[in-house]
Chain A
Amino acid sequence: GAGVSQSPSNKVTEKGKDVELRCDPISGHTALYWYRQSLGQGLEFLIYFQGNSAPDKSGLPSDRFSAERTGGSVSTLTIQRTQQEDSAVYLCASSSRQGAEAFFGQGTRLTVV
């Protein structure tokens, strides 16, 4: 499709396991964002990729979180040794350069049990 695609849509994992969340942005969009949203709360910025520039990782909550973007397209957010407080919806968004509208995926709901 033409929108931002995230997979899986739901993920249940055991505490201590590693998880990978995938984001396929809109083709041609150079900017890609990851956010985390806990139930009933706002958007918590995690990381921002813009073209070939070094990513802005200032929002990553701990060194258990990492993200990469391969070939300027697909991005993977990895959470190592998951904890219960990591349970949330993880949203990905992409936009064209110059700060245009961001298009969001449906999110991945992560539950750590």
Chain B
Amino acid sequence: GESVGLHLPTLSVQEGDNSIINCAYSNSASDYFIWYKQESGKGPQFIIDIRSNMDKRQGQRVTVLLNKTVKHLSLQIAATQPGDSAVYFCAETPNTGGFKTIFGAGTRLFVKA
């Protein structure tokens, strides 16, 4: 469903560890998924995307996994750094209904030095 201003869950990790942020999406017609990173005082910015014909995509230190069977998306950040501290949003875009992108509720990642 659509985010309605829920209080953000927080994930706290030690610097250097790997982080995994999870997201459950709602629409089985969604075929395009994006992870965004929002730093304090800024708008969300694109990190990585994946289409529904894939189940894994890798970027620099980040990997997105897609499980269409259970409608689950995850973002893995390798060797987490203090600069990774931010709020992370998943987003889905269905291939119907005007292609409106729907954002998840977001997860706050806090990296401990």
Checking A4, A42, A93 against B6 with a beta-carbon cut-off of 8 angstroms, the contacting residue is A42
Q: Contact at A42–B89, with CB atoms within 8 Å?
A: yes
The reply on A65 being an interface residue by CB < 8 A is no
Q: State whether the Cβ of B12 lies closer than 8 Å to any Cβ in chain A.
A: no
Minimum CB–CB distance for B97 against chain A, Å: 9
- Contact among B7, B44, B93, B105 with A99 in the assembled complex (CB-CB below 8 Å): B93
- Closest B residue to A4 by beta carbon equals B43
Which of under 10, 10 to 19, 20 to 34, or 35 or more describes the interface residues of A?
A: 20 to 34
Using Cβ atoms and an 8 Å threshold, which residues of chain A touch B53?
none
- Cα A105 to Cα B99 in complex, Å, equals 20
Residues of A close to B8: CB separation below 8 A:
40-42
Say whether A42 contacts B106, CB under 8 Å.
yes
Q: How far is the CA of A68 from the CA of B100 in the complex (A)?
A: 17
The one of A38, A59, A95, A106 that contacts B101, using a Cβ cutoff of 8 Å = A95
Enumerate chain B residues within 8 angstroms of A91, measured Cβ to Cβ: 43-44
Asked whether A101 lies within 8 Å of B100 as measured between CB atoms, the reply is no
Are A48 and B100 also in contact (CB < 8 A) when A42-B105, A43-B89 are? yes
The A15-49 residues at the B interface (CB cut-off 8 A) are 31, 33, 35-38, 40-45, 48
How many residues on the B side are at the interface (Cβ–Cβ under 8 A)? 31
Which residue of B is nearest A37, CB measured? B5
B2 at the interface (CB under 8 A from A): yes
Q: Which residues of A contact B32 (CB under 8 A)?
A: 99-100
Minimum C-beta distance from B94 to chain A (A):
8
Contact partners of A104 in chain B: CB under 8 A = 43-45
* B101→A102 contact, CB < 8 A: yes
The answer to whether A50 has its CB under 8 Å from any CB of chain B is yes
Which 6 residue pairs across A and B have the least CB separation, nearest first?
A104-B43, A99-B93, A42-B3, A99-B99, A42-B106, A44-B5
Q: Which residues of B contact A (CB under 8 A)?
A: 2-8, 32, 34, 36, 42-46, 49, 87, 89, 91, 93-95, 98-106
Instruction: Point out residues on A near B: beta carbons under 8 Å.
Output: 4, 31, 33, 35-38, 40-45, 48, 50, 53, 56, 59, 91, 93, 95, 97-107
